Structure 1
Amino acid sequence: MNSLNPVRWSSSDLEAFGALVQTRHFTRAAERCHLSQSAFSQKIRRLELAVGARLFERSTRQVSLTPEGEVLAQEVLRLEQELQQALGRLQALAGLQAGRVAVAALPSMAAVWLPGLVAQWRQQHPQVQLSVHDTLAQGATALLREGRVDFALTAGGDLREFDTELLLTEPYWLVCPASHPLAARGPAGAHWADLGGEELIHLARSSSVRQQIERLDLPPTWRTSPLEVEHLATLAGLVRAGLGLSLVPALTLFHFTGPGLAAVPFQEPALARPLVLARRKGQALSVAAQALRELLRQRLATPAAALPPP
């Protein structure tokens, strides 16, 4: 039965084979497949030509499997079981009964947004593992680019290689020692003109905050401090010690609530940080990642959750 020309067969031929294995009767198997007996016989014949061996012994009284047919029947059964298992796993993923989702976030976004989000996620979907990576902007985009996270919560930088959606725009605040004259401004806040002659302490150049301030390309009337730090806790300590002032986004204000510090709104609309959700361009999110994104959107719809008061 060997042929130099390969015979094309289809999944419906395997279905016909399975029906005949179960019924051991051509007529009943053909009826099960809703085929005429001749059409059904052609499917079995095509499958036998494809494998190069007879699969059934036919007699007037019964149909039985050949040894080769037994091998194929076992393989078909194994494939069916594996398919059922795969479908079961997919159903669990689609139903949020299994799986995992990973997110990268700037430290300020991670500290303010993610604790409550993670707690709510674990309560609603305890069987779906949620991983969180808190990192600066460059680290977040690197994790996203490498496929190690489903999406990143970030701000600033060149995000053209990703699909992004704006979550909200975050205002800036001026932080200063409590004894500084600007601390008495209250809700009236401060402006660029108020920084003339002041010493401004910047965060590291790798931070989204520093990048955004520099992108405005303003002629500085202030003095740039030689002190440059990566951690907001360090920045708070330097400001408290009277070594300078700093501009920080609203989500970071929890670092500047201790004694000896004051924060006033910085009333310059051009200095506002867009907070975005970034994901790999053209790549769909998993069901779990979509659910996490929707949960985040719902939480951010509450102003107190999005930007807690200082």
Structure 2
Amino acid sequence: MELKQIRYAVAVADTGNFTRAAERCLVVQSALSHQIARLERELGAKLFDRTSRRVRVTPAGEAFLVAARQCLDAAERAAADVAAAVGEVRGRLAVGLIPTVAAVDVPAVLRDFRRRHPEVRISLRVGGSDELVEQVREGVVEAAFLGLPATARPTGVHVRELARDRLVAAVPPDHPLAGETSIALSRLAAEAFVDLPEGTAGRVQSDQAFAAAGVHRSVAFEVTSAEFMARLIAEGLGVGLLPASYVPRLSGLATIEITDASARVEYVVWSRAGCTPAARAFLALLGIPDADAQAR
């Protein structure tokens, strides 16, 4: 079994097409098909069912792909470690973040990282905090920026607290409360709310705040991004709660301090399984120079 055969098989599974897989691997389709056939003969099982219209991964193929992806990751990690031993940073860096992260200017950090380490392939994933923690545990991303209620803390990963924040009320500029400097959550209870989907870390922060205040509210609009929340609020369709440090990035909103607002904590997390050279270099830019030794 050769590494290129494994790479070809993973490409076929990812693209669902032999032609596109060959294009990704920079080989002609006949060569890729020949190597896949050789691999199947060696394994004694078909990895793919092929018809004129589609390619489907067989149960044997599904079993093979789990270890195949791990093998490719290990090979890439080995090459990156060798490069690091001679003073070069290579490989990949996948970073995850929530849309409302404010403690770190992530685009600026990625810009500086690319200038210092141009050989590293950088990718970025945006998602919810819980989802990103799982992706770090699984090795899908090397580091992720999260925002969680003060009552929660990421588990199964290395953690560094970046900043503490609070929620503020965001209302349209012409809202009757827009001139207030501070209010209690009870004064917002009758309003229609715009918020993130139920169960997400951002929504939990708002729900916990109202629960602690003993106040019931109605969420009329559930959206998946803070930017769209802001657009709905600016149009007068509802009000919302947003991190105080993030709101200045949005336009068309008036903000009001909340006297009984809940606390919010931003973290950066990375894998307990050890960092790649690229991940170590990235975390060093954040002031974490020995990430493999960090366990808090």
Mark yes or no: TM-score above 0.5.
yes
Pairwise CA distance, 1:289: 1.2
Matched with 2:192 is 199
Matched with 1:289 is 279
CA contact (8 A) 1:175 1:247 kept: yes
Instruction: Choose the corresponding residue for 2:176, options 173, 181, 185.
Output: 181
Q: CA RMSD in A?
A: 3.0
**What is the CA–CA distance in structure 1 between the aligned matches of 2:166 and 2:287, rounded to whole Å?**
19
**1:3-61 C-alpha deviation (Å, 9 max, x unpaired):** xxxxxxxxxxxxxxxxxxxxxxxxxxxxxxxxxxxxxxxxxxxxxxxxxxxxxxxxxxx
The aligned amino acid for 2:167 is Y
The structure-2 alpha-carbon separation of the partners of 1:277 and 1:87, relative to structure 1 and needing over 3 Å to count, comes to closer
The structure-2 alpha-carbon separation of the partners of 1:222 and 1:122, relative to structure 1 and needing over 3 Å to count, comes to same
* Identity percentage of aligned residues: 27
**What is the CA–CA distance in structure 2 between the aligned matches of 1:296 and 1:181, rounded to whole Å?**
42
Instruction: Choose the corresponding residue for 2:114, options 112, 117, 122.
Output: 122
TM-score with structure 1 setting the length: 0.58
The aligned amino acid for 2:83 is A
The aligned amino acid for 2:191 is E
The aligned amino acid for 2:206 is I
The structure-2 alpha-carbon separation of the partners of 1:88 and 1:226, relative to structure 1 and needing over 3 Å to count, comes to closer
Matched with 2:133 is 141
Name structure 1 gaps, 5 residues minimum.
1-85, 299-310
Name structure 2 gaps, 5 residues minimum.
1-76, 289-296
**What is the CA–CA distance in structure 2 between the aligned matches of 1:104 and 1:250, rounded to whole Å?**
21
Larger Rg: 1
Q: How many residues align?
A: 207
The aligned amino acid for 1:276 is Y
Summarize the alignment of residues 251-290 of structure 1 with structure 2, pairs less than 5 Å apart. Answer: 251-253=245-247, 256-258=250-252, 261-268=253-260, 271-281=262-272, 283-290=273-280
**What is the CA–CA distance in structure 2 between the aligned matches of 1:255 and 1:207, rounded to whole Å?**
22
CA contact (8 A) 2:109 2:285 kept: yes
CA contact (8 A) 1:236 1:255 kept: no
Matched with 1:228 is 222
TM-score with structure 2 setting the length: 0.60
Pairwise CA distance, 1:238: 2.1
The structure-2 alpha-carbon separation of the partners of 1:240 and 1:273, relative to structure 1 and needing over 3 Å to count, comes to same
Matched with 2:38 is none
